[in-house]
Amino acid sequence: MYIITNALKNLGRNKGRNFLIGIILLVIIVATAIAIIINSTASSIIDDYKGRFGSEVSLNLDYDKAINEGNFVDSGENGKGVEEITPKQYFEFGDSKYIKEAQYNASSMINFKDLKPVDDVDDPDLMVRGYLIGSNAKNISDDFKKEARKIIDGAMYRQENECIVSQQFAELNKLKPGDEIEIILGKDRVHKLKISGIFEDNTMVSGGDAAQFMEKNPMLNRNNEILTGLDTIKKLGAENVTAAFSLKNPDDLKAFTAQLQKKGLPSYYKVATDEAGYKAVVGPVENMKKVTTTFMIVVLILGAIILLLISTLAIRERKYEIGVLRAMGMKKGKVGIGFVTEMIALTFACLIIGLSVSAFASQPIADSLLKNQIQIAEEAPTGNTVSHLDFGASAGAPASDDAKPLSELSVHLDFDAAIQIILIAIMLAIVSSIMGIVYITRYEPMKILSERN
């Protein structure tokens, strides 16, 4: 205890030197603490998004591989065509232990029996006048969430063979909830569906003036979409399916790919995550993390060198003190403990100040860095890493074109970051004390004193 007390008193006795070392320690601690705080938050965000984007899987045709394996994308010529993934296969693919969630958009072209579609044309040969759409996908419910479509009468379909129809379609045919409609699938397969609700469709409004000049076609009018549950369309037979699979664990991608291939997925289909979307959203944060990590490493290396130099210069002054203390019979260990205690106390004071400063400064610095990285990302030419060719049926994670980069990062000092900063501070204290320890252990007291004398 007396050695520690004396060491603490020594801090005040050598104000100038300790102030200089303290300033350097403070700068290093503040710089590294800010970098660690930003990195820690960035890491958890990156992990979170990696989980999200890494778990959403798309099946894309690898054009080059398909050609190399002797397949012709245009199947009309000699040779075999590219095998398309059938709706049945999609549903089989979704039945996997690796899958957390499978979202399907299934559709079939339909005609109506004794019902008029919106924008109908007088063409007896026209076999398709609308679509039956069955989905469990989020984008369908998103139309309703965003109020592009909303139920204005009745309720959403709940049971098999229930459906909802558009307001225009219902008014045209004088339909109301509870009524039954008959749809024709294929050439002559008639199927009855019960109307559970009527929705208002605003998705066509965005067509604007251009829509007025388009030729009338019931197939192009979304008011002729009959929406039903996935089970209903599965039973009736979907012609077209898109699927988005979410893996339980992004690391299962390889195993899931093997399983799909075992289930009949041709080898020229690439099972991929939405890397482009991930890059678009998290890229600036990742770059910011790289910048702060590099900055931290540079500061630590330079700081440690400067500390070593200053402590080497300072120890020349203290060398005499070491000589006197050792001549008076102080053990090397005790003199060493005194020196280390001084540095730890100084470092601890700097750590307290440094943590407080960095806790306040890290947010504006993170904002500024992120803004800078977003700007760089926006100015950089973009490129998609996966060639995406859609051949009828396809599966994919949500399109990355709309992905907006993270523009806000709420940084905070968490426990792990605090531990890292404390460990770095301890390391700095050791670096600062190391020259003193070297002198204490290397030189005999008489050598030091006789050099001085």
What residue type is assigned to position 72 of the chain? Answer: F
Retrieve residue 120's tokens. Answer: 């109908």
**Which range touches other proteins (CB under 8 A), out of 1-9, 49-57, 217-225, 348-356?**
1-9
Among 143, 200, 275, 321, binds other proteins (CB under 8 A): 321
**In this complex, which beta carbon is closest to other proteins, that of residue 37 or of residue 343?**
343
Among 222, 326, 351, 396, binds other proteins (CB under 8 A): 326
- Give the angle 56-59-64 at the CA atoms, nearest 5°: 135
Q: How far is the CB of 10 from other proteins (least distance, A)?
A: 8
Retrieve residue 334's tokens. Answer: 């005790």
Per 3-state DSSP, the chain is made up of helix, strand and coil in percentages (nearest 5) of 55, 15, 25
**In this complex, which beta carbon is closest to other proteins, that of residue 218 or of residue 445?**
445
Q: How far is the CB of 430 from other proteins (least distance, A)?
A: 22
- Do 129 and 225 meet the contact criterion of CB atoms below 8 Å apart? no
Q: How far is the CB of 341 from other proteins (least distance, A)?
A: 13
Site for other proteins in 327-356 (CB under 8 A): 327-334
Among 251, 378, 444, 451, binds other proteins (CB under 8 A): 444
By the rule CB under 8 A, 20 interacts with other proteins: no
By the rule CB under 8 A, 149 interacts with other proteins: no
Secondary structure letter of residue 220 according to DSSP = G
Phi and psi (nearest 5°) for 391?
-115, 85
Q: How far is CA 379 from CA 26, 235, 281, 372, 430, in A?
A: 36, 49, 15, 11, 44
Among 2, 188, 205, 380, binds other proteins (CB under 8 A): 2
**In this complex, which beta carbon is closest to other proteins, that of residue 279 or of residue 326?**
326
Among 14, 161, 173, 312, binds other proteins (CB under 8 A): 14
Q: How far is the CB of 331 from other proteins (least distance, A)?
A: 5
- Do 103 and 243 meet the contact criterion of CB atoms below 8 Å apart? yes
**In this complex, which beta carbon is closest to other proteins, that of residue 253 or of residue 449?**
449
Helix (H) or strand (E) holding 13: helix 2-13
Site for other proteins in 291-320 (CB under 8 A): 320
Q: How far is the CB of 334 from other proteins (least distance, A)?
A: 6
**Which range touches other proteins (CB under 8 A), out of 3-11, 47-55, 110-118, 160-168?**
3-11
- Do 85 and 269 meet the contact criterion of CB atoms below 8 Å apart? yes
**Which range touches other proteins (CB under 8 A), out of 8-16, 56-64, 204-212, 380-388?**
8-16
- Give the angle 267-273-277 at the CA atoms, nearest 5°: 140
Q: How far is CA 51 from CA 45, 165, 218, in A?
A: 10, 37, 42
CA within 13 Å, CB half, 179: 16
Among 13, 100, 235, 290, binds other proteins (CB under 8 A): 13
Among 118, 227, 271, 325, binds other proteins (CB under 8 A): 325
By the rule CB under 8 A, 140 interacts with other proteins: no
Q: How far is CA 56 from CA 35, 89, 104, 251, 398, in A?
A: 31, 18, 13, 12, 8
Retrieve residue 427's tokens. Answer: 């390391």
Among 6, 43, 246, 372, binds other proteins (CB under 8 A): 6
Among 27, 128, 324, 361, binds other proteins (CB under 8 A): 324
By the rule CB under 8 A, 323 interacts with other proteins: yes
> Residue 146: CB partners within 8 Å, gap ≥ 6?
none
Tokens 């709706």 map to which residue? Answer: 87
**In this complex, which beta carbon is closest to other proteins, that of residue 8 or of residue 359?**
8
Q: How far is the CB of 447 from other proteins (least distance, A)?
A: 9
Tokens 């102080």 map to which residue? Answer: 330
Q: How far is the CB of 307 from other proteins (least distance, A)?
A: 21
**In this complex, which beta carbon is closest to other proteins, that of residue 9 or of residue 116?**
9
Retrieve residue 294's tokens. Answer: 């590099």
Retrieve residue 337's tokens. Answer: 């403990």
By the rule CB under 8 A, 254 interacts with other proteins: no
Strands (E) located in 377-446: 394-395
**Which range touches other proteins (CB under 8 A), out of 138-146, 274-282, 419-427, 442-450?**
442-450
By the rule CB under 8 A, 437 interacts with other proteins: no
- Residues 343-362 as b/e (b if ≥16 CB within 10 A, e otherwise) read bbbbbeebbeebbeebbeeb
Q: How far is CA 1 from the centre of its chain?
A: 52
By the rule CB under 8 A, 4 interacts with other proteins: no
Q: How many residues belong to the site for other proteins (CB under 8 A)?
A: 27
Which residues are at the interface with other proteins (CB under 8 A)? 2-3, 6, 10, 13-14, 320-321, 323-334, 444-446, 449-450, 452-453
